[in-house]
Chains A and B, each alone.
Chain A
């Protein structure tokens, strides 16, 4: 069984937020909830780098471990999902997550923290496939349609890769190999660089 993974190639990410809006528009995610976001380091300085971050669908997911009501579960293909009907919105997963992925919408019965929302890898949730309820709570279920996640599919520079971790690795390996020898090779500056 394949396991899904994201990979963001920081040499390619241009901080255009295409992934962010692809996700939000595709799943009708409310303003204020960011299943994915782009982080830029050293903006305006030499060495500026950007990276797109969301739930990484960890193989050994801390959020699952800490959830007191077992609302979070992992599919066989590695996609980590939350059952919003079980979630109590406590935020333990938010504390446990190394990436700040869990999101808590405003303005519902839980006050500032509603049921946790996060990246679904475009795989919907535990409701019936393509049901109104699934769409309302989780957005599209593209995986059930045999389609790739929107964020990676629409990435402007193909920085963001998503899918079977083995294939993602192949794509990235080929790309790094293509970057050629010399100063563009990954790790060159680390091994031979001045700083």
Chain B
């Protein structure tokens, strides 16, 4: 009855409304509009504005912010690198406009990027330099802060040596700034420098670079549009890389591409997939080796690709043979018939795009897991092809750039390593005397030793595990790096309180400010990345220029200014800034002149900015500019970009194009010949006869270029003549080699499964034990076998894994300070299967204690969901501000406590580190749970 009344009166209402419209001249004026929700019709991807009319108001303004400036910049959250158009009026960022013609994002944002403006407008920003005086936060001047910090650092250096300082740098700063962080550590005289990539994709870089030369995503987000099938392992793009989904879903819709999602959780990605594979955490390698085994057993491998471009194949096949579908089921929990079905899907739908993220990297065998993925793609012949590739989605917005710049304990910029040759190369770039550089170190040998890593720097402070450094760590600079991403976070907190000096450089105070009880701490307010400028490298290896939107707000300074203050105070500014007058452009030029190994030399600031200005001219499908001033170039000049004329390399290892046009063979990085330990067979490591880029002078494999300039190679010839000579001959400076199935430098030369250190399967520990303990692993002893106790599961029966939520990012200091994101996700929680919840007697929404074998405890709310199975608990890792059940909100400087606080999930993530890179193993621990 009510319904019919509404229907009848609705008609009257519309008439009445219509009368009101005509009666109200202001409204009538606005109804001239002809609205169009239009699309780039070819792509069906973009809902852009094709408004055919604008307001024809007879009087009054035509826009709200007359004379405003529209600045193109790049979102600071994830590595997709979405475009933002910032509207600035009288020096104030007034609103975000839709960057509808950005060639990757097409105006799109997730909830974080849609509120990017909050980074500048947030009331929770740190407003002044602060120090703790007698337990109270006290604002101080920049002069005082830099003087006191500098004096303390110099005193520590004199007394304890340069390695008493550890620098945790950042994937959230520009590439130029990341480069300065690494350069700062070098000039200070220590390799104790690292950043978020350690816990994000260090095992990827190690595994992938050791397979075929470079450790980055091989294709691009846009290229995923061409995939005929897709497999996501430990990757959840709707939460972690939402805007990439428009390209992924395009492949699903247009190509009918099956999407296989392999994850311990039935994620949002699984909701968009066509096949969901539930896997036990930490068993990825076993599953993928099982797929390889099935593919080979059925003769589905790409025999020609393997014959011409792959090495160590026979040795790999011998090792993979053990992983039958039945054994895979035993290890992973994946039904044998599903492994068979997935292998068939991949074989029938080529090319396959393979994506993995932190679900696969954060394991004690992470560097084996990542290699197994590479090998799967080699076996299927999916490398160097549009629609194929290993599309490893990076996390933070500039983690690719910061990794490339070597903010790492084990390398100088551009993966040159720490050997003498690398130091000499960079000293030439920096135009400083090598002997002076040596003199900066405690002793020469410390130049060549890996430093403490982000994962375990605090062991150098606590000294509870055996460390291999002449001094404990006494001082820490935490620069743009959230702290609660460290596993065993309660131990990290103890380290903060033991330090002589702790300097936090961040736009927000971060959890460190709340956990540090002593007076050793300084907070320096850095400007957000919208208040500075520089290049950022997206996951697709594209360099984009993040333009400054507004000047630094409050009493904050941008990162470059803070670095300059510090370097001047420490007395090596003349040496440090020798080539740098214009910031940041001169830094871009300097790092480019040295980072030849990854081809960062072709991307001049002018070229990058030109791409930004003309981003509308790039094609959605291949990212190449079609006409216009960037004609023929690929968006963002994806590295390697060998010369200032080079268009960038859109797809790595693609031999269908000339090198000058962006083609590239596998890199010759591991010698020309190898005799394998396992088989005794000797194999040529260069590509087979006939495989090369078009126009190559050598019709087959060739070694990397050297001695064009005597005594140098293509990586160290600063004149770049070697690179140019190679390209002129149609060849790649890096050679034309095979991709390796056998990595003879690694403890497992062919990837195999090994049980997680804390495994729920005592029987499998016996069959697939971990490695023997490793001494002096990034300066600290690391336990493997002695930590793998079969009985542990009796007391800690549930598998604990962690991950992302779309509303928050990283350690959450930024996003938990945004009122709208907090409204969407206000609480820390644990995902628990309703069946398990009922079994242990808790209800949905009740509080529980979760405890790790190390004794870490968190008190969190339950969230009943079938995303997880009955044996697995899932924690988001973005929360902080509560520790061991106690709120620390009072400890933040006044007015800066985040709007949402919660227990950091990483208090209960377990001990365990990758054997090669010391990546923390936070995805496969054990825990127990009890009602609080």
Contacts and interface: CB of A to CB of B under 8 A. Distances in A.
Interface of A: 1-2, 4, 11-12, 14-22, 24-26, 31-32, 43-46, 48-50, 59-62, 64-67, 70, 72-77, 96, 123, 126-130, 135, 140-141, 143-148, 150, 152-158, 160-164, 167-168, 171, 174-175, 178-180, 182-184
Contact of A16 (B37, B50, B238): B238
Given A20-B824, A60-B11, A154-B114, A77 B49 contact: no
Given A148-B47, A156-B110, A164-B35, A182 B266 contact: no
A32 B865 CA distance: 25
B789 interface: no
Contacts of B239: 16
Contacts of B27: 73, 75, 126
A189 to B, nearest CB: 12
Given A161-B37, A167-B36, A171-B37, A43 B30 contact: no
A14 to B, nearest CB: 4
B37 A25 contact: no
Contact of A184 (B96, B97, B252): B252
B248 to A, nearest CB: 9
Contact of B108 (A74, A145, A156): A156
B30 A75 contact: yes
Given A64-B17, A73-B21, A147-B49, A175 B253 contact: yes
A76 B21 contact: yes
Contact of B268 (A14, A59, A74, A141): A14
Given A25-B96, A73-B17, A154-B108, 20 more contacts: A18-B110, A18-B242, A20-B824, A31-B819, A64-B17, A76-B31, A130-B64, A140-B64, A140-B95, A144-B57, A146-B33, A146-B55, A147-B49, A148-B98, A154-B109, A163-B37, A171-B38, A171-B44, A179-B254, A182-B256
B823 interface: yes
Interface string B862-893: 00011110000000000000000000000000
A15 B554 CA distance: 35
A48 B268 contact: yes
A51 B482 CA distance: 33
Interface stretch (B2-10, B302-310, B389-397, B512-520): B2-10
B29 to A, nearest CB: 8
Contacts of B64: 130, 135, 140-141, 145
B14 A64 contact: yes
Interface residues of B, number: 91
B731 interface: no
B18 A74 contact: yes
Contacts of A126: 24, 26-27
B806 A16 contact: yes
Contact of A44 (B18, B272, B867): B867
Contacts of A161: 37, 47
A184 B256 CA distance: 7
A76 B107 contact: no
A98 to B, nearest CB: 10
B867 A129 contact: no
B47 A25 contact: no
B807 A4 contact: no
B113 interface: yes
Nearest to B257: A184
Contacts of B97: 147
B6 A154 contact: no
List 7 tightest A-B contacts by C-beta distance, closest first. A163-B37, A146-B54, A44-B867, A64-B13, A48-B271, A14-B238, A65-B10
Interface in B34-61: 34-39, 41, 44-51, 53-55, 57, 60-61
Contact of B824 (A17, A67, A144): A17
B249 A154 contact: no
B14 A61 contact: yes
B246 A62 contact: no
A32 to B, nearest CB: 7
Contact of A75 (B21, B62, B819): B21
B30 A158 contact: no
A45 B38 contact: no
B708 interface: no
B820 A158 contact: no
B49 A148 contact: yes
A31 B34 CA distance: 32
Contacts of B39: 158, 171, 174
A18 B114 contact: yes
Interface string B265-304: 1101011100010000000000000000000000000000
Contacts of A11: 249, 253
Contacts of A183: 256
Contacts of A157: 108, 242-243, 245-246, 249
B242 A156 contact: yes
A56 to B, nearest CB: 14
Contacts of A21: 111-112, 114-115, 820-821, 824
Contacts of A184: 252-253, 256
Given A49-B271, A167-B36, A25 B114 contact: yes
B34 A2 contact: yes
Nearest to A144: B55
28 contacts: A4-B35, A16-B806, A17-B111, A17-B824, A18-B113, A20-B820, A21-B112, A46-B266, A61-B14, A64-B14, A67-B13, A73-B17, A74-B14, A76-B18, A77-B33, A129-B60, A140-B95, A147-B49, A147-B97, A153-B48, A154-B113, A158-B44, A163-B35, A178-B44, A179-B253, A179-B254, A180-B254, A184-B256
B238 to A, nearest CB: 4
B63 interface: yes
B96 A148 contact: no
A155 B64 CA distance: 24
B556 to A, nearest CB: 21
B47 A171 contact: yes
Contacts of B9: 65-66
Given A32-B823, A44-B865, A96-B6, A20 B11 contact: no
A150 B10 contact: no
B884 to A, nearest CB: 29
The listed residue with most B CB atoms (<10 A of its CB), out of A25, A140, A179, is A25
Contacts of B266: 44-46, 48
B913 to A, nearest CB: 31
B238 A15 contact: yes
Given A24-B820, A175-B253, A16 B55 contact: no
Given A16-B806, A74-B21, A158-B106, A153 B10 contact: no
B20 interface: yes
Nearest to A44: B867
B256 A18 contact: no
A182 B27 CA distance: 47
A158 B243 CA distance: 9
Contacts of A168: 37
A48 B236 CA distance: 15
B16 interface: yes
Given A44-B266, A135-B64, A157-B249, A18 B21 contact: no
B473 interface: no
B422 interface: no
A143 B55 CA distance: 8
A66 B17 CA distance: 12
Nearest to A30: B819
Interface in B841-881: 865-868
Contacts of B16: 64, 70, 73
A70 B16 CA distance: 8
Contact of A17 (B44, B806, B819): B806
A152 B35 CA distance: 13
Nearest to A74: B17
A64 B823 contact: no
Given A2-B35, A130-B60, A158 B14 contact: no
Contact of A164 (B6, B37, B254): B37
Contacts of B48: 148, 153
